Amino acid sequence: MQKERRVSPQTKKEDEVLDLALRPQSFSQYIGQEKIKKNISIIIEAAKKRKEACIEHILFYGGSGLGKTTLSYIVAKEMGSGIRVIAGPSIKKAGDLAAILTNLREGDVLFIDEIHRMNRVCEEMIYPAMEEFKLNLIIGNGPMARTMELKVPRFTLIGATTRLAFLSSPLRSRFGGTFRVENYKKNEIEEIIKRSSSLLDIKIKNDAVKLIASCSRFNPRVANRLLKRVRDFSEVEGNKTVSRKDAQEALSFLDIDEMGLESGDRKILQTLEEKFSGGPAGLHSLSIASSEEKETIIDIYEPYLVQIGFIKRTPRGRVITEKAKKHLKTIK
Ligand SMILES: Nc1ncnc2c1ncn2[C@@H]1O[C@H](COP(=O)(O)OP(=O)(O)OP(=O)(O)O)[C@@H](O)[C@H]1O
Ligand SMILES: [Mg+2]
């Protein structure tokens, strides 16, 4: 069984309240992603000037916890529109989609989260709704079947996905704007941690903010979660202000090193170094040697290790880099 990972960007139960409390409400509170903010502001302003109720359909893609849902709510707010939120996997039948679309009000935003997991039949049904604001429903079956055309209020579809490649190209091409939500820079994550501290009424030293930021995998959700854990730790110690020492102790108690790696990540690196003399090692062999499932290596461990330049993927397999070897030495 997999150990609980505190640095995983996917939502956990404990994040739900935190996510809500800390979610920025406007572009001015939303830190970073300057290109997206600017582009969308222009799109909204232009639509307002033309007195159009809607903007073109928008797709956000990027890793978990980077702020796609947050952005979607902000876009609706900046447009002055209502928002209807629905999870892709919950749209299972044609009737589900018809009910959602026909219940929208003119100018609303329909936000479909995890849009790549929407049922394929519904996906095809949504094309005419996106293009011409109409739905073709098939009523009855066999020789008695007939189609009925339903009008749908003008709406803006905002889709969010962590897996752009899983989206069919006809659907992708129907979005007027596709935006990649990027990982944050270190100074942006520091700013996010400071903002969250002030919202949560946490007094924290600057060097503690920096340390949490460096462990956060450049991900706001992970940063907020770590901030909360560090604050709890510091409170139990009876400290009123979170110091770097508190942060250091809390993070080492949580087994997170200053690159944001946990024991599972380090095990992959150590396996590569010790059992494969640094590699290259094929996925299958690495999986057996580290007793981790192939999918877990690909989805959970590898993306960040590749991103920070600790693992290189070569045609012959995975190779550990000098940078990673140095890091392993420092934490031994
Ligand atoms: N740019 C930002 N500025 C400040 N806080 C942010 C920013 N982006 C995200 N956050 C914080 O991170 C939390 C997670 O963001 P959000 O839920 O929007 O991520 P997501 O991309 O939708 O993730 P998932 O793919 O798991 O649904 C938010 O509640 C918010 O507190
Ligand atoms: Mg989301």
Q: Cα(30) to centroid of ligand 1, in Å?
A: 9
| Token pair for 220 | 């706001």
Same domain? For 83 and 169 the reply is: yes
- pLDDT tens digits, residue range 77-122? 999 999 999 999 999 988 899 999 999 999 999 999 999 999 988 9
| Residue to mutate, 35, 191, 221, 299, ligand 1, most ligand atoms under 8 Å from C-beta | 221
| Token pair for 172 | 């992708």
Q: Is 22 in the pocket of ligand 1 (CB under 6 A)?
A: yes
Find tokens 């039949």 and name the residue: 121
Q: 180, 209, 239: which is the final residue of a domain?
A: 180
Same domain? For 176 and 112 the reply is: yes
| Token pair for 219 | 């991900």
* pLDDT averaged over every residue in the chain: 92
Does 302 fall in a domain? yes
Same domain? For 135 and 191 the reply is: no
Cα 84 to Cα 182: distance, rounded to the nearest angstrom: 25
pLDDT of residue 147: 86
Ligand 1: residue whose CA is nearest its atom 27: 64
Q: How confident is the model at residue 1 (pLDDT cuts 50, 70, 90)?
A: very low
pTM for this model (two decimals): 0.89
**What is the average per-residue pLDDT within 233-258?**
93
CATH of the domain at 194: 1.10.8.60
Same domain? For 213 and 322 the reply is: no
Q: Is 65 in the pocket of ligand 1 (CB under 6 A)?
A: yes
Cα 186 to Cα 224: distance, rounded to the nearest angstrom: 14
Does 126 fall in a domain? yes
SS3 state of residue 19: helix
Q: How confident is the model at residue 3 (pLDDT cuts 50, 70, 90)?
A: low
Same domain? For 106 and 199 the reply is: no
Instruction: Indicate the DSSP class of residue 60.
Output: E
- pLDDT tens digits, residue range 144-167? 888 889 999 999 999 999 999 999
| Token pair for 299 | 């989805």
CATH of the domain at 325: 1.10.10.10
pLDDT of residue 329: 92
Does 190 fall in a domain? yes
Q: Cα(281) to centroid of ligand 1, in Å?
A: 35
Query: Per-residue pLDDT for 13 more than 60?
Result: yes
Q: Any idea which residues carry the catalytic annotation?
A: 68-69, 113, 162, 221
Same domain? For 267 and 223 the reply is: no
- Name residues whose C-beta falls within 8 Å of residue 112's C-beta, 6 or more positions apart in sequence: 86, 87, 88, 91, 118, 157, 158, 159, 160
Query: Per-residue pLDDT for 242 more than 90?
Result: yes
Strands (E), 170-315: 177-180, 203-204, 241-242, 311-314
pLDDT of residue 111: 98
Strands (E), the chain: 58-61, 83-87, 109-113, 134-139, 146-151, 156-161, 177-180, 203-204, 241-242, 311-314, 317-320
Same domain? For 82 and 44 the reply is: yes
Cα 182 to Cα 161: distance, rounded to the nearest angstrom: 13
Return phi, psi of residue 267, to 5°: -65, -40
Does 299 fall in a domain? yes
Expressed as residue numbers, the domain containing 126 is: 33-180
Does 244 fall in a domain? yes
Same domain? For 249 and 269 the reply is: no
Residues with CB under 5 A from ligand 2 (ion): 69
Which conformational region is residue 263 in: left (phi greater than 0), alpha (psi within -120 to 50 degrees), or beta? alpha
- pLDDT tens digits, residue range 180-227? 999 999 999 999 999 999 999 999 999 999 999 999 999 999 999 999
Q: Is 23 in the pocket of ligand 1 (CB under 6 A)?
A: yes
- Name residues whose C-beta falls within 8 Å of residue 21's C-beta, 6 or more positions apart in sequence: 199, 200
Q: Cα(238) to centroid of ligand 2, in Å?
A: 35
Q: Is 116 in the pocket of ligand 1 (CB under 6 A)?
A: no
pLDDT of residue 279: 86
Q: 133, 160, 180: which is the final residue of a domain?
A: 180
Find tokens 């709890």 and name the residue: 232
> Please, what's the b/e burial string for 152-181 (b: 16 or more CB within 10 A of its CB; e: otherwise)?
bbebbbbbbbbeeeebeeebbebbeeebeb
Cα 73 to Cα 56: distance, rounded to the nearest angstrom: 16
Give percent above pLDDT 70 in the chain. 98
CA nearest 128: which of 113, 95, 150, 112? 150
Does 258 fall in a domain? no
Give yes or no for a contact between 272 and 286, defined as CB atoms under 8 angstroms apart.
yes
Q: Cα(68) to centroid of ligand 2, in Å?
A: 6
Q: 155, 180, 205: which is the final residue of a domain?
A: 180
Same domain? For 76 and 161 the reply is: yes
Number of domains into which the chain is organized: 3
Does 2 fall in a domain? no
